[in-house]
Structure 1
């Protein structure tokens, strides 16, 4: 979880595999999400169920996957290409000193409850988030950069920052910028209230979340009536549900080895990019892992392409640092530590760990986790490192690994966009403390675009060369839809599984 990295940036799958099935009449009567004949329903199969629905208090990426843009809107949003576009704000300007943002709101905007989404409501929402003390580092960072927020009339909001920021507006297109109905600020955990084209209807724990059409939506009309996110713990069961007609979309295929099953006669395969870096994270407070040579040895010992071929059906890009190709400061750093077991053994000997090094690898039971752990355990054993693998559910992972740093190594996909900045937080669960990296990120954020991008490239190179982690691969976006479903993007540039334009035809 975070652009800074926050827990919600951590996802089970790149954003939690979401599957949108589309059936009004194909579901059995006792299945959740059943709607009357003739209604337009999309069912979404997903692999990571939200434990609560408050994206401010909980960093689970499955929450904004369902709610961002679909239920909670923002002033600006990220489109399928990763570019910022107007949403509740019809336009905005930035002052010459890059401190003051003036947002012009759509005059017709309202919350689903009917409450006007005017300048006063935007100010109330932002002030609520500023006071929230969120564990989400993305929210905390974006709110901490705001010096003041004020309404100017009914349809203009002025936000002033403490210092210029290259990343702030982009952050506001995600969870940090959600606009919350004033009546819903106390009900976020179980009854989210926003202004999006869909409104929260129900959460059947262990089974599904249902969204219903917002009948008074102020923007472009929806083309479906009901969306059901249906949850699967077994990716093969999700694939079977799609093949049998119970699902209309798999938002991100959790078993890429099964891709050939979805032939062109019934299905459409949309392959694109995500922002989900699958990271073998190191706890830098561990005595051995605090040594650069040990971290370098681990990077040399792991055949990353072989791991992708084994675990993810060969689908997944080598990256080498915490930067996907969609980021403007991307460069290919995947060759920094090529697969070289002999060099790994030499580095371990230099670090005083030629024999006897044992590390605990705690992985969440997410689709890529256990399989990747098995490959890594074998390859590190080949260079003399004993790895004890423990599989834990994602809730335990959040509490024990992410919050309390009770681990030596772990594997998780960080799906928040532009989350390289998380490495500048020395208290983040990696406990990585590099003053040079921190300085570069801070300078980049206050720099103009050209200089900022170059500084971020330098920061990415530090992470790679310092072997701060082993950046295993970038999760692809593999979307499967029934041929009659349209309006789904092929990329996953944000935490949202964006269903705001989804449509279906009857045949």
Structure 2
């Protein structure tokens, strides 16, 4: 009902306005009138007050987003109210996510469990077909309510091999590519036939550490690993400027970031000293799981190879194990990982959307994405308190304390925030990158 604005916040979409009660428990939305789904169903009267939010427990990520919803109340055909079990200040941010999209109840009844294969929404493009592993085809929604859509058809093609993606763009077979590999950035910047776009997004790349396994249950060891890794060299030499140095999970220069936070410096001698204090003067051996590729993963093998070398220099011998993305995510649910490379695209600059799912102890894998199995009682309490107030200034104070906790008690090795890159043919006009890393094509026209 609301959507992500170009700065990552919430903006009016199917809801023309909303209010939040003083106690933070009721979110009331006024729906726009006259809007229809792609199948012609009117959006008014279509909110289901009997939605089984109480049954989301078996769907961990759905439960994370909507498990706090106590009820949905239809006030009148154009007014709907979400009632929460307890305040959650980031609830508007949750409703901007794809998981909160309003879908046609007519289509849900028609397709049942196969609805995901025949999606029907209200957006600028309508679903046409999906050839698995090959392409998704969309066509213009002539009745789109926000503004006229300027292109008739969009074809999305997954092309995993970097050189093939670049070649198809330069030969005119593709109009837009995303995730431009660092090695190709300079070439595209110098090419007069294409335009290269760059923007920092709500993303963090980290080297996860299983906080429950020895020797990583000792924070001195985790601190040592942070001192041992040359993050500047990774950003400069591997990412070639397509990443910005990370101080923690929160994107710098956003409202919840701690401005005084300093990244761990590259200090191998300090790393060796901490390892000795923790009882490992000669280091130790461990394993590092790495996906071959994956959503938001930048250059995981190259980045992890540098980390492996850095850790070797302070006495930590690391065995690299690479895996296919799907198998990798499944293996992380086993809790057998020691070190692992991963990233997170929060979709929004609200700190709750990155710190809570990744690091609150209630979100331990396999029921949540806290794959580091991190637990810090004060950190948990600070995150909880930040959810209970809608005053952004007070929330920022809580989140700044939380970030200071993570520096002293690091759950990961903090590496970088990706600078998202995309390249497009000169005939493409109006393409803008979005902080969520969503590829938004509704503003595009062709020259």
Same fold per TM (> 0.5)? yes
In structure 1, the residue matched to 2:267 is 340
What are the ranges of 5 or more consecutive residues in structure 1 without an aligned counterpart?
Answer: 1-74
In structure 2, the residue matched to 1:210 is 137
Equivalent of residue 292 in structure 1, options 214, 219, 227: 219
Post-superposition CA distance 1:158-212 (Å, at most 9, x none): 1122222221111111034211222235224422222212122222222222222
In structure 2, the residue matched to 1:174 is 97
Report the secondary structure of 2:243's partner residue. coil
CA displacement at 1:157 relative to structure 2: 0.7
In structure 2, the residue matched to 1:104 is 30
In structure 1, the residue matched to 2:322 is 391
In structure 2, the residue matched to 1:55 is none
In structure 2, the residue matched to 1:145 is 68
Alignment of 1:8-407 (within 5 A): 75-118=1-44, 120-123=45-48, 127=51, 131-133=55-57, 135-137=59-61, 139-182=62-105, 183-184=107-108, 186-253=113-180, 255-262=181-188, 263=190, 265-325=192-252, 327-332=254-259, 335-355=262-282, 357-366=284-293, 367-401=298-332, 403-407=333-337
Distance 1:197 1:377 in 2: 46
Which moved further from structure 2: 174-183 or 468-477? 174-183
CA displacement at 1:357 relative to structure 2: 1.1
What are the ranges of 5 or more consecutive residues in structure 2 without an aligned counterpart?
Answer: 365-369
C-alpha contact (below 8 Å) 1:311/1:371 kept by paired residues = yes
Distance 1:190 1:178 in 2: 15
C-alpha contact (below 8 Å) 2:224/2:272 kept by paired residues = yes
C-alpha contact (below 8 Å) 1:109/1:219 kept by paired residues = no
Distance 1:176 1:77 in 2: 11
* TM-score where L is the length of structure 2: 0.90
**1:485 paired to 2:428:** yes
In structure 1, the residue matched to 2:367 is none
Which of structure 1's runs of 4+ aligned residues deviate more than 4 A?
Answer: none
CA displacement at 1:438 relative to structure 2: 0.5
Post-superposition CA distance 1:350-387 (Å, at most 9, x none): 11122251111111111411111110111100100010
CA displacement at 1:128 relative to structure 2: 5.1
Distance 2:171 2:258 in 1: 42
In structure 2, the residue matched to 1:42 is none
CA displacement at 1:130 relative to structure 2: 5.5
Change in CA separation of 1:464 and 1:310 when aligned onto 2, cut-off 3 Å: same
C-alpha contact (below 8 Å) 2:229/2:310 kept by paired residues = yes
**1:436 paired to 2:436:** no
Equivalent of residue 404 in structure 2, options 448, 453, 461: 461
CA displacement at 1:334 relative to structure 2: 6.3
C-alpha contact (below 8 Å) 1:404/1:429 kept by paired residues = no
Report the secondary structure of 1:479's partner residue. strand
Change in CA separation of 1:382 and 1:454 when aligned onto 2, cut-off 3 Å: same
Report the secondary structure of 1:431's partner residue. coil
Distance 2:149 2:207 in 1: 40
CA displacement at 1:149 relative to structure 2: 0.9
Which moved further from structure 2: 233-242 or 366-375? 233-242
In structure 2, the residue matched to 1:415 is 345
Equivalent of residue 424 in structure 1, options 350, 360, 363: 360
Report the secondary structure of 2:372's partner residue. coil
Report the secondary structure of 1:224's partner residue. coil
Report the secondary structure of 1:123's partner residue. coil
Distance 1:93 1:245 in 2: 48
